[in-house]
Amino acid sequence: MKHKFYLLLTLFIFSFTNAQIREIPAVIINQNNDTIKTNILVAVNIFDKTLINELSIIKKIRFIDSIGNKNTIFAKEINKITFVDLKNKNRTFKFDGKNQLREIIYEGKIKVYYTYSANAYDGSIITKFDFYDENEEKVNVGPFNIFFKKALKKLVKENPELVKIIDESNLTYEETIILVLTKFETEYLNK
């Protein structure tokens, strides 16, 4: 009787764990600029199956090759990866030059990335903005993403109209950043 209980418990845990993995099409460009069109395996949220756990793809990516075998490619071997997530949002991740991938939010003369890491206490996802000015100098954002407006204002301080847009914006972080930096680069930097 005990064996049946443990067997059922093991099967339940195994099936529950495997149910948290989804397969999505992606394009990987490696460091040699070779393009790999494949399906990648991503972990998803337990309660919302359309939310990808970015921690499952920032250090290494598991993918399925053309004959169906599962393979792994590490972040240091990847230049860029692009895919459409389970909420139909286009996402692009780029190697940070150190040890992991970071998500591109805006990449023009000014660059903005999301860097993902795990909370040491509970394993939850920590998301941090990385801003770089037109000279590729990192702009200090502060410890929390709510300070993104401060960093964005530092980048566009010469243009009071854009500072006003930042202050009055009701858009998401990403939408505000893209709107302001696109305007800044087209109207100010390209003059």
Query: What pLDDT is attached to residue 133?
Result: 86
Domain of 53 in residue numbering reads as 1-99
Average pLDDT over residues 127-139: 87
Query: What pLDDT is attached to residue 127?
Result: 87
Overall domain count for the chain: 1
Q: What is the pLDDT of residues 141-184, one digit of tens each?
A: 766 666 788 888 888 888 889 999 998 888 888 899 999 999 98
Query: What pLDDT is attached to residue 18?
Result: 45
* Domain-located, residue 126: no
pLDDT category, 11, cuts 50, 70, 90?
very low
Query: What pLDDT is attached to residue 2?
Result: 62
Which uninterrupted H or E stretch holds 162? Answer: helix 160-168
Q: What is the pLDDT of residues 17-69, one digit of tens each?
A: 445 889 999 999 999 999 999 999 999 988 888 999 999 999 999 999 888 89
Q: Is 172 exposed, middle or buried (0-12, 13-18, 19+ CB in 10 A)?
A: exposed
Flag whether pLDDT at 118 surpasses 80.
yes
User: Cβ distance 141 to 131 under 8 Å?
Assistant: yes
| Six token digits for residue 103 | 């998500």
Average pLDDT over residues 72-93: 96
* Domain-located, residue 39: yes
Length, in residues, of the chain: 191
* Domain-located, residue 178: no
* Domain-located, residue 18: yes
Query: What pLDDT is attached to residue 15?
Result: 44
Query: What pLDDT is attached to residue 154?
Result: 86
* Domain-located, residue 13: yes
